[in-house]
Amino acid sequence: ANGYYNSGLAKCIWSSHDLSDMVFIRNYIFNKDVFIQFNSTVGEFVGYTELGVKNAEAWNKDPAQLQGERAQVEGYCKPNAEIDQSTITDKS
């Protein structure tokens, strides 16, 4: 299938058992290249291409969008990480 590919990837990264170092990252990908990324450590969108920079500038001006992304650590990452950790420890 020839054409364009647009996709996204959200991930949570942590290494401590208390989840205090958790980071939420959302990548926006076009044709296998990340063109814009939200990283909860940075707290805003960062563009990596001309289009990504323009989108990041616009999205960073929207407090509601930034608040929603920043809330993903508590609302999405930590609850799922707690389930993952309890599953792992229950089996060992």
Averaged confidence pLDDT in the chain: 91
CATH of the domain at 31: 3.10.320.10
pTM score, whole prediction: 0.85
Closest CA to 80 of 7, 8, 14, 28: 14
In a domain, 79, yes or no: yes
In a domain, 1, yes or no: no
Tally the domains of the chain: 1
In a domain, 19, yes or no: yes
In a domain, 49, yes or no: yes
* Domain ranges, residue 10: 6-90
Tens of pLDDT, residue by residue over 38-83, are: 999 999 999 999 999 999 999 999 999 999 999 999 999 999 988 8
Closest CA to 8 of 45, 60, 62: 45
